[in-house]
Amino acid sequence: MPSGKRTAAVLGVLLLAVAAFVLTTGAAQTGSQQQPASPQYQPPTIKLDADTQVVTLCPDAESMANPRVRLKATGYSPEGKPLRYRWTVSGGRLDSTDGTEVVWDLSDAAPGVYNASVTLESGPVGDPLCTAFTSTKVVVRNCPPPRPVCPNVSIYCPDVQQAGSPITFTASVSGGTPGVTPVYNWVVSAGKILSGQGTTTITVDTEGLAGQPITATVEVAGYNLECRAQCQASVPAPPNPTRFEEFGELQRNDEKARLDVFAIELQNSPGAQGYIIGYGGRNRRFGTGAQRAQRARDYVVQTRGIEASRIVTLEGSPRETGSTELWIVPAGATPPRPR
């Protein structure tokens, strides 16, 4: 084929290709304009916060933790669409079922685990385009039993006046764990509990305990704790008799002067007794021991007016020289014996 015809044929093929490309491109652009792409919706996101995860219910209002839980939902729409919230709970009561914040009342709920859920909707009402969901759990528990507390325990200690007489210890109890019936157990370091064991007051015998201390301990049971108190009472030692005077073989007037002073001391000691011990001597002019004691007693009773029941006379063994002993014996003291 001549070169001129070959060139013309190639050009013709190129023109046909260009025309086909142009037609195809135009058709594609026309079809794109006629069928626009559907819009792509982006779902919202949500976060749920609760101000507590545990609710403790106690029988009395003072010790009851707050039984209400505050719930807060935070939603976000990437496309800026309006958001709606729907709340549900598995127990208790809500103050509202919509909105970003609600209060969940669990005051009447039984112990257990409860669930709160919130659903977030965006788009038209009744036909939401997208939703998001989240939930949280709250534990409801009973109030733990109160911690045991010992009551305030004290003991009244008696003022012991005389050995041998019963004495009384009294316990006082206040406060402590409520609802407990206290049980009293007494222990004494000396003496014998005559009555009152198991009660707030005991009586203790002090026979033979002169000069000794008595420690009383009360243990108050029922609190699951060691609750106790102590106090100590001192039993006085018996007083000692006092040898007030001793004189020998005196003239009668001198003897009376000594007895006058003895009578005055007895008058000043109304609870005491007077003891007169007479000792005889070789000179019988002053009498035997019994006679000397009786003569002194008669003078103190008849002349000085001391009650006869308060004067005791004793006779001692004879001596080289006779003498008379005058004794003041307080109540509870051991009487003197002739030497």
Tell whether 225 and 269 lie within a shared domain: no
Percent of the chain with pLDDT over 90: 58
What's the CATH code of the domain at 183? Answer: 2.60.40.10
The enclosing H or E element of 4 equals: helix 3-34
The reported pLDDT for the residue numbered 266 is 96
**Final residue before a domain boundary, out of 90, 120, 142:** 142
**Final residue before a domain boundary, out of 90, 108, 142:** 142
Each residue's pLDDT tens digit, 2-36: 545 554 554 554 455 544 444 444 444 444 455 55
Tell whether 137 and 52 lie within a shared domain: yes
In a domain, 12, yes or no: no
The reported pLDDT for the residue numbered 291 is 94
Residue 217: pLDDT band (50, 70, 90) is: very high
Gap between the Cα atoms of 44 and 81, Å rounded: 9
Tell whether 215 and 278 lie within a shared domain: no
The reported pLDDT for the residue numbered 78 is 86
* Sequence-ordered list of residues with C-beta below 8 angstroms from that of 234, at least 6 positions apart, any chain: 160, 212, 213, 214
Gap between the Cα atoms of 197 and 333, Å rounded: 32
**Final residue before a domain boundary, out of 142, 164, 191:** 142
In a domain, 215, yes or no: yes
Tell whether 172 and 99 lie within a shared domain: no
The least confident of 3-12, 48-57, 227-236, 288-297 is 3-12
* Sequence-ordered list of residues with C-beta below 8 angstroms from that of 300, at least 6 positions apart, any chain: 259, 262, 263, 266, 274, 276, 306, 311
What's the CATH code of the domain at 259? Answer: 3.30.1330.60
Number of domains in the chain: 3
The reported pLDDT for the residue numbered 82 is 85
User: Closest Cα to residue 85, out of 93, 75, 95, 94?
Assistant: 75
Pairing of the two strands 54-57 and 130-142: parallel
The least confident of 105-109, 120-124, 132-136, 329-333 is 120-124
In a domain, 165, yes or no: yes
Gap between the Cα atoms of 290 and 313, Å rounded: 8
Tell whether 255 and 273 lie within a shared domain: yes
The reported pLDDT for the residue numbered 18 is 45
Q: Give residue 191's domain range.
A: 152-234
